[in-house]
Structure 1
């Protein structure tokens, strides 16, 4: 039998045991909670790490708890060649589940349902079984493999910052917390808030208030404004034009003091792919800027912000940062938070910067544009892109291994989001998700296809042999 055939047979035999181990972890609600003495992310996260240590011990691995930030284990104690980095924390269970409750895992039609099945407890166990297969089958390794399981990936990854403050990185790192075949490039990011002082001027018509957005990384589906000094009939002409130009639906209603409430209904999307939505906020700003408002500082600033963030511009053209390169594609940028009241106008945008982005050609350009338009931007740094070349040993070996196991040839992915390895040199996110399958990650009825997870373990095990074997 070939190495791959031996691994495949081993994992097939241990399939049901893997499922039960995953269930053990799913039953722990490990969403971040209030810190407790010795438990930086709360009781549930610490309990999940202890459950992970118990799995290490069950399978004959010696584990170590790093102050309830993370746990780790290795195969043979030799010089490190590879880190596998996964996490045991989850997003909150939430409502709307139909198959089961979030922390009561069930198996149905080849799928396991429960919070963390796909993100990231299932993949963490798949990585453990990959290491177990390599060890139990007696494959000799020149270099060691270390499995690190953290507990704060969903809320900022301070766990890994703590861990690597006390440990050195392996020469190569993979994180089973993304799509197959692997992510070789993660765009940079820039979140900037800008403000300006205003006052409620006496001239009419005027915009009294406006508000939109729920999170900086979510394209807003709704936006509202209150306008004084216009009738509904007068407003409807401008509303119709804005609807035709933006595709966003506007509703106009009368409030108690005779002012008009304007509500915009767009389409939400993740800020990493803003073109998948229809931004209600920028559509509303376009409408407000088209109104025959009385001359005022507020009117000028509304015009300026609309010019900087024109509706339908998802690449930062208004801010002068519409960069593009062959490796990562285009920079994307979307205005996702906004508020206008009688003292202040403020907004916050999310930028996913392409691989050629720098402080000089992105952050500094944005700062000057905002300042010239009358706003004071905060001094948020550019989080640089993360890139591992396609011709690196790590990327080539993982792609080759993916093809060996699946029979499919796929190109590595460039994404707008960030993963656990964003700040780790020579680290890539690899599996366990199939991009063609919606696992309802972070939503109700999250699930993992069990055969997909077993196949992932086979990919990881074969990759370990190729990257660290004799």
Structure 2
């Protein structure tokens, strides 16, 4: 096969990459209210428009498909490869120090800002790879289509819409994970459970509880309002807690005590990297001398099921693991409670050995016995055999331009390829790099993004020419 000067081509492309990524980062593309032609709100729609504008400036043909996704194609031949990424982002969150979340900044070889790593930076790397193939005049016999989604962070409705109307490609990868190759994505179990009760009036009691804002994020903050106890009594219980990285702030509010718990956010698939403010506050409340009642019993039950620091479902009884995909993880991420009821959700990532019986049915039985109603299905794990021909091509290209040995990885996070036949996550984060995904000061290595662009260029050539 003919060799092309891919490395030399990208020698002067750093400024182009940084400017393109910066243009996307400046758009606050979080989920918004649906509008005609903008199914996920103003921000994601603006990001798609800007992405297609960049593609056009690079000489590439793009199209907006009813606001759900933008697509960029290299030619009109039969499509062999889908590159599948997203332009929507999670909320900014607190704790940013290097720059503001939507003001990109270059520092020490990295570009900072929300979306630089997840997934705007990698999408620009893929776009530049397509430009490289065109500029190098590689004769393709098949098309590659870059699909820019808008709802990855909030349910994949964009991609479901797309694949209901368009066929799968023979090969698909998503630059929305880590290098080398993610061929196993754990299953997802994210049920909603509820309980209701008569108006609670007994004292002392928890009048309200507000937990995390997102299902797939370890809650960095949680708050509760307690009646019938003094600040001194609550503080005395706080002083006995052994946890690191958790703070409590007490304030008097209308003869009640407001408790704000602050921890550290993280992606729900890696709960050990965060400090779950919701479980910490729940555990504190369960220790307080509250009056017996439905809300108190619910709080103490939940605290026993989801104790602070338990990331693997041991206390709940669903801990399990296997050699290929690792342990089950469990993040209790949503809880809202008041004097008449509660609603909660947790984010569980299940290994290949996780089954309907050992996860979903076990959970439902425990919840119902404790007086909760529960709804939610188990989305099974995604697994592509490591020895498939497609993965061998990806491995070769990765090794050629990274200088590293390839291997297959299992993750708890779910990418766009979850459920897409033969699809894998492929980059763009290099091994060992900490991107602060979903956290403050999210960042991407400019050098690594350029390396990813070289890798993607070679993949396109190997699969489509």
TM-score relative to the length of structure 1: 0.83
2:116/2:444 contact within 8 Å kept = yes
Take 1:245 and 1:89, find their aligned partners in 2: how far apart are those partners? 34
1:199/1:298 contact within 8 Å kept = no
Take 2:235 and 2:381, find their aligned partners in 1: how far apart are those partners? 45
Greater shift, 412-421 or 303-312, is seen at: 303-312
Corresponding position of 1:8: 7
Take 1:100 and 1:307, find their aligned partners in 2: how far apart are those partners? 40
Take 1:295 and 1:42, find their aligned partners in 2: how far apart are those partners? 45
Does residue 434 (structure 1) correspond to residue 433 (structure 2)? The answer is: no
Greater shift, 62-71 or 438-447, is seen at: 438-447
Greater shift, 100-109 or 381-390, is seen at: 100-109
- 1:184-212 residue CA offsets vs partner (Å, 9 max, x unmatched): 222222222323333466776x4343514
Give the deviation of 1:132 after TM superposition.
2.9
- Residues 409 and 71 of structure 1, relative CA distance in 2, 3 Å threshold: same
Does residue 401 (structure 1) correspond to residue 381 (structure 2)? The answer is: no
- Residues 313 and 38 of structure 1, relative CA distance in 2, 3 Å threshold: closer
Take 2:304 and 2:285, find their aligned partners in 1: how far apart are those partners? 12
Give the deviation of 1:231 after TM superposition.
7.2
Take 1:38 and 1:203, find their aligned partners in 2: how far apart are those partners? 51
- 1:343-383 residue CA offsets vs partner (Å, 9 max, x unmatched): 22443222122222233321121111011112222x12222
- 1:388-446 residue CA offsets vs partner (Å, 9 max, x unmatched): 22222233322232122111125333222222222322111212223533445556655
Corresponding position of 1:121: 120
Aligned residues: 463
Take 1:99 and 1:251, find their aligned partners in 2: how far apart are those partners? 26
Does residue 371 (structure 1) correspond to residue 371 (structure 2)? The answer is: no
Take 1:289 and 1:102, find their aligned partners in 2: how far apart are those partners? 36
- 1:66-105 residue CA offsets vs partner (Å, 9 max, x unmatched): 2232232333433322111123344566787776666665
- 1:39-79 residue CA offsets vs partner (Å, 9 max, x unmatched): 33445544443443344444443333322322323334333
1:212/1:336 contact within 8 Å kept = no
Give the deviation of 1:7 after TM superposition.
1.2
Take 1:235 and 1:95, find their aligned partners in 2: how far apart are those partners? 26
2:267/2:438 contact within 8 Å kept = no
Take 1:105 and 1:277, find their aligned partners in 2: how far apart are those partners? 24
Structure 2, unmatched stretches of 5+, are none
Corresponding position of 1:159: 158
Q: 1:362 aligns with which of 356, 359, 364?
A: 359
Give the deviation of 1:284 after TM superposition.
4.6
Give the deviation of 1:177 after TM superposition.
1.9
- Residues 372 and 455 of structure 1, relative CA distance in 2, 3 Å threshold: same
- Residues 93 and 218 of structure 1, relative CA distance in 2, 3 Å threshold: closer
Bigger Cα Rg: 1
1:213/1:219 contact within 8 Å kept = no
- 1:296-326 residue CA offsets vs partner (Å, 9 max, x unmatched): 4455444433333334332223333212122
Corresponding position of 2:71: 72
Take 1:157 and 1:2, find their aligned partners in 2: how far apart are those partners? 38
Does residue 197 (structure 1) correspond to residue 193 (structure 2)? The answer is: no
> What SS class does the counterpart of residue 165 from structure 1 fall into?
helix
2:83/2:145 contact within 8 Å kept = yes
1:319/1:365 contact within 8 Å kept = no
Corresponding position of 1:322: 319
Does residue 179 (structure 1) correspond to residue 175 (structure 2)? The answer is: no
TM-score relative to the length of structure 2: 0.83
Does residue 392 (structure 1) correspond to residue 391 (structure 2)? The answer is: no
Take 2:234 and 2:97, find their aligned partners in 1: how far apart are those partners? 44
2:209/2:222 contact within 8 Å kept = no
1:26/1:103 contact within 8 Å kept = yes
Give the deviation of 1:283 after TM superposition.
4.4
What is the aligned-residue RMSD (CA, Å)? 3.7
- Residues 270 and 64 of structure 1, relative CA distance in 2, 3 Å threshold: closer
> What SS class does the counterpart of residue 191 from structure 2 fall into?
strand
Corresponding position of 1:209: 207
Structure 1, unmatched stretches of 5+, are none
Take 1:128 and 1:202, find their aligned partners in 2: how far apart are those partners? 60
- Residues 276 and 49 of structure 1, relative CA distance in 2, 3 Å threshold: closer
1:21/1:55 contact within 8 Å kept = yes
Give the deviation of 1:121 after TM superposition.
3.1
Take 2:44 and 2:94, find their aligned partners in 1: how far apart are those partners? 20
Take 2:239 and 2:399, find their aligned partners in 1: how far apart are those partners? 53
Take 2:336 and 2:455, find their aligned partners in 1: how far apart are those partners? 48
Corresponding position of 2:458: 462
Take 1:461 and 1:433, find their aligned partners in 2: how far apart are those partners? 16
